[in-house]
Amino acid sequence: MSQPVDNKVTILVLQHPQEQDRVLGTAGLLAGALSNAKVVVGLSWRNLAHAAGAPAEPRNWGVLYLGSTQTKAPANGQAPLVAVDSKGAVLPDQEAARAGLRGLIALDGNWAQAKALWWRNAWLTKLRRFVVVPDGPSLYGDLRREARPDAVSTLEAVALSLQVLEGDVAVREKLLAPFRALLAKARLEGVRDSKRDRRVRR
């Protein structure tokens, strides 16, 4: 197994309970591929510090927002991570919007589950909002259906985000490597995304 990526921006994944048993879920892969990442499972937390399990200042944290910008794919020179205001409008000074960011939250689950996490945790609205603008479709392909054609996995979204925040294009590919391996194995074995069978076999 390759060495974890030594990321400076902390990644906190809030995972919906119904997502933790997905065969092709990516939160576990992501946590294993990063040296500074944590996955917490639940529906609601009192505040950022409660979710992070440590003191944390909301002003220094961002969240991958569920909305989208008018841009469907990154134009030349445009970063795939876009800072937006509370109404989803692109902020004019992107560098300033990213300055001093110490942590980033990703909501893990299908579209409906991620929306549930957003609405059940009002403190998320106090964080800086970022939208990921993918440069192509998800690597899932036909292995997992998504509600939106531009939806990507949690791992892919974080990989794109860290590529921008860490200023290192190689970070993205390092994170995608274990995901590609998982999907290749699934296709070889004819596995589609589904719930794991948690029943005890005797």
Give the pLDDT confidence of 180-191 residue by residue, as tens digits.
888 888 888 776
Domain boundaries, the chain: 10-68+77-189
pLDDT winner (highest mean) among 25-29, 47-51, 65-69, 72-76: 47-51
Pairwise CA distance, residues 6 & 85, whole Å? 29
Q: What is the pLDDT of residue 68?
A: 60
Residue 149, pLDDT score: 55
| pLDDT tens for each residue of 60-98 | 999 999 766 544 444 555 688 999 998 889 999 999 999
Average pLDDT, the chain: 85
Q: Which residue has the higher pLDDT, 36 or 146?
A: 36
Which pair of structure tokens corresponds to residue 80?
Answer: 């795939």
38 pLDDT higher than 60: yes
Query: How far is Cα 61 from Cα 76, in angstroms, rounded to an integer?
Result: 27
pTM: 0.87
* Better-scored residue on pLDDT, 144 or 41: 41
Report whether pLDDT(108) > 90: yes
Both tokens of residue 135? 């440069």
Residue 202 in this model has a pLDDT that exceeds 60:
no
3-state helix, strand, coil in the chain (%, to 5): 35, 15, 45
What are the pLDDT digits (tens) for 142-171?
Answer: 666 665 656 788 999 999 999 999 998 899
